[in-house]
Amino acid sequence: MNISSNIGVDYKASSLDLGVIHPSSLQGSDIKFIRLQWLDYTNMVKFRIMPVSYFQKLLASQRPGVNLAKPSLGLVGLGLAEGFPIMGEYYLTPDVRTLRRCPYEPGHASLMSWFEEKAPVELPDGSSSVAVPLCPRTTLKRIVDCAENESHVKFLVGFESEFVLLKSTDPIEAVNIHEFSSSDSMRPGAIETTVMNEIAKSVQESGIELQLYHAEAGAGQYEVVTGPLPPLESADALVHTREIIYNTAARYGLRATFTPRLPTSAIGSAAHMHLSIHSTVRTPSPKHPLHTPKAPNVLSPLESTFLAGLLAHLPALPALTLPTAASYQRVGDGRWSGGTYVCWGTENREAPVRLTNPASPSSRRFELRFMDGTANPYLALAGIIGAGHAGVRAGLKLEVQDNPGPQSAAQMSPEERAALGIVRRMPLSWEEGRKNIQSDRELVVILGEELVEKYLSVNKLVDSTINNPEASESERIQSLIKFY
C-alpha cells in the first residue's frame, strides 16, 4: 500500500486571499462606524471611532489621518514610561488594506494604522520621512521588506490563540472543567458552546481563515487556529481575532483572558506561531546558492540559515515574545511548553522551535513555541524574522542538530546535549530576558535602538503595575487579567 507522507495544505503567498473589505464598498452598506486602531507596547488594542461619513471625508483628503498625543505609546494606565515625551503629536494614518467587519459589534468595522510624524523629519543621510521608528507595524514592515528585497525570501505566518473563559474574575472561576479536546467541553446549550461557536462564525465573517477550534486541557481553556498570511497581515489578523474572542465572551457575561498561567489551572496558555519560508527566486542559479528547491526530510539552505540565525538570537527574543513575569510561570521543562534549552527538534514539543511536517515540502514549517498572548505580535514577529534573516544574509551554518527525541534536552546529560550543539539556555526569568536583549547588539540594531529602549521602558512599567509589591497575590492576578 503506497501512502503519501506529503501531508498538509499547500499555501502560497501569491495566492492567499487577505479577506479584507475595500473602502469603496462602505457606501450604502450596513457599516456605519469605523474603528481606527493601534496596538501599543503593552499589547493593548486602542482605537478612535468615527462615523463612515467622516471616514470617507478623511480618505478624500490629501493625507488621511487623525492626531494622537506622542505620550500615547508610553502610557500604562495613567503612568507614563520613562523616556517618552509629554508634548507633541503623531499623525495616526489608516491602513485601508486592513479593513474588516467587527461581527461582535454590528455596524462597526475596524482597521489598523501607522504612526507617522505630522511633518517630514530630516534623516542622517539627508533624506526626509514621516515614518516613526517606534511604530510596531512600521518596524515589522521594514524588516519583512528588507528580507524580501535583499534575500528574495518571503514568509507565511499562522497563529494558535489559546485562552481561558472565566465566569468570574473575583474569585477566579473558569466557565467549566473538561479534558483535552473532550466533547463535554462544548455541550449543546452550554454558554461556552454558544460563545465558541459565535467566535468561530465571527472569525470567518471577518474574512480570516479559521482552520479549527477545540478545547485545551486547562479549566475553561480553548484554542482557535487561524490560517497563514504574510507577516504583517498575519499580525493584523491575530489582533482582530483576539478582539473577536474578548468581545464575544463579554457579550455573554464571560471574561476571556490570554494570561499565560492562572492559579486555577496547571496548564498555561500560549500563542504558538507557525512560520514557513519561501524563496521568490524562480530559477535557482549560482547567483542565489541558498535558493534551491525544498526536498522531503531535509532543510533547504534558506530554512537552515534562517533557523541558524533564529537560534543564534533565541535567548534575547523572549523579551519580546514572553514579556511578563507570568510568562515564565508557563514555560519550563517537561510541560510541553518548549523547554528551557536553545534547540530545535522534528515534532518535538519540548523544544522552543519545532519542525513539523518534515516530509512535506509544501506544508513544512517551524512552530515557535516561545510566545504567549501577552506579546505584541508585530514586535515579536519583527524580532523573529529579523533574527532569522540575519542568518540568511550571513549564510550562517546550522550548528545545533535536530533533536527529535525520545529524550528532551532537559533529560539529556550535559555531554549528550553538547554532542547536538545544545549548549545555551533560554532565559529563566523576566529579568534575564530583558538583560539578554540588551546585550544582543545585532538584534538591537535590527529592531532599532530607540525602539528597544522605549519598549523596555514600557515593559518595566507594566511589570511594576501588575506586580506591585504592596498588592496581594490575588490582586496581582486580577491586574494581569485586566491587561490580558
> What are the sequence ranges of the domains in the chain?
14-133, 147-483
Alpha carbons 142 and 198: distance in angstroms, whole number? 36
Place of cell 486602531: 37
Is the CB of residue 410 less than 8 Å from the CB of residue 348?
no
In contact, 301 and 387? CB cutoff 8 Å: no
pTM for the model stands at 0.96
**pLDDT at site 390:** 98
The alpha carbon of residue 212 and the mean position of all alpha carbons in its chain are separated, in whole angstroms, by 18
From 328, 387, 395, select the one nearest 353 (Cα to Cα).
Answer: 387
Pairing of strands 66-69, 172-174: unpaired
Residue type, 436: N
Q: Residues near 126 by Cβ (< 8 Å), separated by ≥ 6?
A: none
**Predicted local distance difference test score (pLDDT) of residue 373:** 96
Amino acid of residue 178: H
CATH superfamily, with its number, for domain 147-483: Glutamine synthetase/guanido kinase, catalytic domain (3.30.590.10)
> Quick one: CA dihedral 480, 328, 463, 322, positive or negative?
negative
Contact 332, 318 (CB under 8 A): no
Q: Which residue has the cell 523544544?
A: 351
Contact 385, 404 (CB under 8 A): no
Q: Which residue has the cell 506591585?
A: 468
Q: Superfamily for 14-133?
A: Glutamine synthetase, N-terminal domain (3.10.20.70)
pLDDT along the chain (484 residues), means of 10: 78 80 89 97 97 96 95 93 93 97 96 95 86 97 97 97 94 89 86 96 97 92 97 98 98 96 80 96 78 90 97 98 94 86 96 94 94 98 98 97 95 96 97 98 98 98 90 85 91
Roughly what angle, to the nearest 10 degrees, separates helices 473-483 and 449-466?
Answer: 140
Residue 4, SS3? coil
pLDDT for res 178: 87
> For position 484, what pLDDT does the model report?
92
Among 378, 375, 364, smallest CA distance to 318 is for: 375
pLDDT of residue 14: 72
In terms of Cα–Cα distance, which of 73, 77, 97 is closest to 86?
73
- Which residues, listed in sequence order, are joined to residue 354 by a DSSP beta bridge? 345, 367
Whole-number Å distance between alpha carbons of 49 and 32: 10
Q: Distance between CA 269 and CA 260 in Å, rounded?
A: 5
